[in-house]
Amino acid sequence: MKYRRFGRTDWLAQLIQQKLDPSLRIYIEYSTKCGTGGFPQGPYAQSQGVAMNLVGTNQSYKGWSWYVYRSVQVYQGFEAVFGKDSPRLVKVLSGQAGYTGLPPIPRRCARGTCRRSPTRR
């Protein structure tokens, strides 16, 4: 699926639940390459993170925050159909091997603390 085309994911989860062999696992990954400007989803994630004033000291980090924020929303759409603790769902976050400069944004965002207060910049 193209990364910008769909907002809700529960419809996809319902389709998979109806059509996919129930013995198979479902690997859910919102997108890859969100951390790089070399692909369209990188600048898109950055613009969304900036627009939402998510945590991060620069545009790139705000993009990573948005990527995790959106990934969690996608996971929740699947959990609504399959159940929160379904052993069929495998939640995937991409990253960059060997890159150590990223702060612990993904852990914060996965816990639901991506957003900054409106007064902080």
Q: What does the pLDDT profile of the chain (121 residues) look like in tens digits?
A: 444 445 678 888 999 999 999 999 999 998 888 877 788 888 999 999 999 988 888 888 888 889 888 988 899 999 999 999 999 999 988 877 666 666 566 555 666 556 554 444 3
pLDDT of residue 6: 52
pLDDT of residue 51: 94
The pair phi, psi for residue 93, each rounded to 5°, is -120, 130
pLDDT of residue 102: 64
Domain residue spans of the chain: 10-110
Give the DSSP letter string of 24-82. S-EEEE--S-TT-TTSTHHHHHHHHHHHTTBS-SSHHHHHHHHHHHHHHHHHHHHHHHH
- Write out pLDDT tens, residues 94-109: 877 666 666 566 555 6
pLDDT of residue 80: 93
> What predicted TM-score, i.e. pTM, was given to this entire model?
0.79
